[in-house]
């Protein structure tokens, strides 16, 4: 009898169409915690890494590694963008009611050197006795840091969910641009022969962590944890609806801001001077990048609200779908959209996603598969990232995996 029961449960489990959409990541929808096909309870883990660079194409990178040659003329942009998401969550079900405690760390880090500076650096026709200069526009940033840690609870009632949670900023650069400055100036003369180049940039970075201590021998984790004040915790919630074919989530609904207690300044300086008189030549170059001005100067920080949604078919063998996310900030530029197809081959669910991540100006091709036998699942994929839609021009990478077990 026990053997027949196990066979029945196995057959039932592989007949269910598994979803390859994840509750966390670029398209957050906490209601999807129920998409794992556990009957009563389960534990789940998720990790996603995304990295994009515009400095080198894959062809130029191969030449650099194999021949040691770098063609500066092929550099289109000097920018880097990375995203990391790590989550752990449990699921407890009782009929149409479920609760899912979760812990999530979600972060973005980007460095964007303006094209005006890049063009100057790579310009072969710099004129003598001419001044070149640039100052960062008030509407732009060269450094993006947006990393938060969340802990909360998703409550599902049927297909409707609500997910209140606490959050703290790990690394944060304000949207207001008055806390970032970038300036460069180049002047030269032929008589006397002189060159002067100066690059000066500063960006304020805030955190719940004492950034000057965490890398030192004096940092005491226990004392830091004991010093945390519950008043520094922010409170937000997500709410929405999810089903096999359609779902949406309104995320980071503002309730209470968190406090980033610590502030530091990232300073990047580069200076080049050159003077020549007859045979007397005096070149000098100096470049430094430092974190300085550590202080307790807290600011209130809200996670920016965003809306995610998906729409998919429910075929027996092949599923097609679309998904999107829009961040409700002042830039109107922070959005993502994608198409996907996934298959149902009993215990194996291969899939392909193509997404456009606008903050990174990148197309992301994701190829992966999920292995699911109901009591345990494993999902692994690789990402090819490029500045145009062709995966063959990809010069960056990413990967993600998730797994879980339950009954």
Q: What is the per-residue DSSP string for 79-101?
A: EEEEEEEEEEEEEEEETTEEEEE
Per-residue model confidence (pLDDT) at position 177? 59
* Nearest of 291, 286, 111 to residue 197 by alpha carbon: 286
Q: Do residues 399 and 376 lie in contact, with contact meaning Cβ atoms separated by under 8 Å?
A: no
* Nearest of 32, 42, 96, 236 to residue 152 by alpha carbon: 236
Q: Give every CB contact of residue 48 below 8 A, 6+ residues apart in sequence.
A: 22, 25, 26, 83, 84, 85, 86, 398, 399, 400
* Alpha-carbon dihedral angle through residues 236, 240, 242, 247, given to the nearest 10 degrees: -110
Q: What is the pLDDT along the chain (407 residues), one digit of tens a residue?
A: 444 444 333 333 333 445 678 999 989 999 998 877 788 999 999 999 999 998 888 888 778 778 777 777 778 788 899 999 999 999 999 888 999 999 999 999 999 888 888 888 787 678 888 889 999 887 778 999 999 999 999 999 989 999 999 999 999 998 765 689 999 999 998 877 888 999 999 999 999 988 887 766 677 777 777 777 888 999 999 999 999 899 999 999 999 999 999 999 999 999 989 887 766 777 888 989 898 888 888 799 999 999 999 999 988 899 999 999 999 987 788 899 999 999 999 899 999 999 999 988 899 999 999 999 989 999 999 999 998 899 988 889 999 999 999 99
Per-residue model confidence (pLDDT) at position 393? 85
Per-residue model confidence (pLDDT) at position 72? 73
Per-residue model confidence (pLDDT) at position 16? 43
User: What is the enclosing helix (H) or strand (E) of 270?
Assistant: strand 258-277
Per-residue model confidence (pLDDT) at position 129? 86
Per-residue model confidence (pLDDT) at position 179? 82
65 vs 226: CA distance, rounded Å: 48
266 vs 353: CA distance, rounded Å: 36
* Nearest of 363, 368, 390 to residue 378 by alpha carbon: 368
- 246-256 vs 234-242, strand pairing mode: antiparallel
* Nearest of 165, 44, 151 to residue 105 by alpha carbon: 151
Per-residue model confidence (pLDDT) at position 353? 97
Q: Do residues 33 and 156 lie in contact, with contact meaning Cβ atoms separated by under 8 Å?
A: yes
């Amino acid at each position: 009898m026990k053997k027949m029961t196990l066979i029945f449960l196995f057959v039932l489990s592989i007949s269910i169409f598994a979803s390859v959409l994840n509750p966390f990541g670029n398209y957050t929808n906490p209601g999807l915690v129920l998409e794992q096909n556990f009957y009563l309870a389960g534990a789940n883990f998720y990790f996603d890494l995304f990295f994009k660079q515009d400095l080198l194409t894959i062809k130029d990178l191969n030449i650099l590694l194999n021949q040691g040659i770098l063609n500066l003329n092929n550099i289109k942009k000097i920018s880097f963008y990375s995203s990391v998401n790590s989550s752990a969550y449990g699921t407890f079900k009782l009929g149409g009611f479920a609760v899912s405690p979760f812990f999530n760390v979600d972060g973005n880090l980007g460095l964007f050197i303006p094209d005006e500076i890049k063009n100057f650096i790579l310009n072969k026709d710099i004129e003598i006795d001419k001044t070149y200069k640039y100052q960062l526009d008030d509407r732009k940033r060269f450094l993006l840091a947006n990393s938060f840690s969340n802990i909360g609870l998703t409550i599902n009632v049927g297909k409707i969910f609500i997910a209140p949670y606490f959050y703290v900023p790990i690394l944060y650069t304000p949207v207001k641009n008055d806390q970032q400055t970038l300036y460069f100036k180049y002047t030269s003369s032929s008589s006397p022969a002189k060159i002067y180049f100066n690059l000066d940039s500063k960006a304020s970075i805030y955190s719940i962590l004492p950034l000057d201590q965490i890398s030192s021998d004096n940092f005491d984790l226990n004392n830091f944890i004991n010093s945390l004040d519950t008043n520094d915790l922010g409170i937000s919630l997500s709410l929405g609806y999810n089903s096999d074919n359609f779902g949406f989530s309104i995320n980071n609904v503002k309730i209470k801001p968190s406090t980033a207690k610590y502030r530091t300044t990232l300073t990047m300086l580069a200076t080049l001077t050159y003077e020549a008189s007859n045979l007397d030549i005096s070149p000098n170059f100096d470049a430094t990048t430092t974190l300085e001005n550590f202080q307790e100067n807290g600011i209130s920080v809200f996670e920016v609200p965003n809306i995610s949604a998906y729409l998919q078919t429910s075929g027996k063998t092949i599923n097609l779908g679309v998904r999107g996310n829009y961040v409700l900030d002042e830039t109107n530029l922070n959005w993502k959209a994608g198409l996907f197809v996934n298959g149902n081959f009993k215990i194996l669910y291969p899939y392909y996603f193509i997404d456009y991540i606008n903050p990174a100006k990148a197309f992301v091709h994701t190829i992966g598969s999920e292995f699911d036998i109901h009591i345990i699942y494993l999902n692994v994929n690789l990402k090819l990232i490029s500045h145009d839609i062709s995966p063959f021009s990809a010069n960056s990478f990413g990967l993600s995996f998730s797994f879980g077990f339950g009954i």
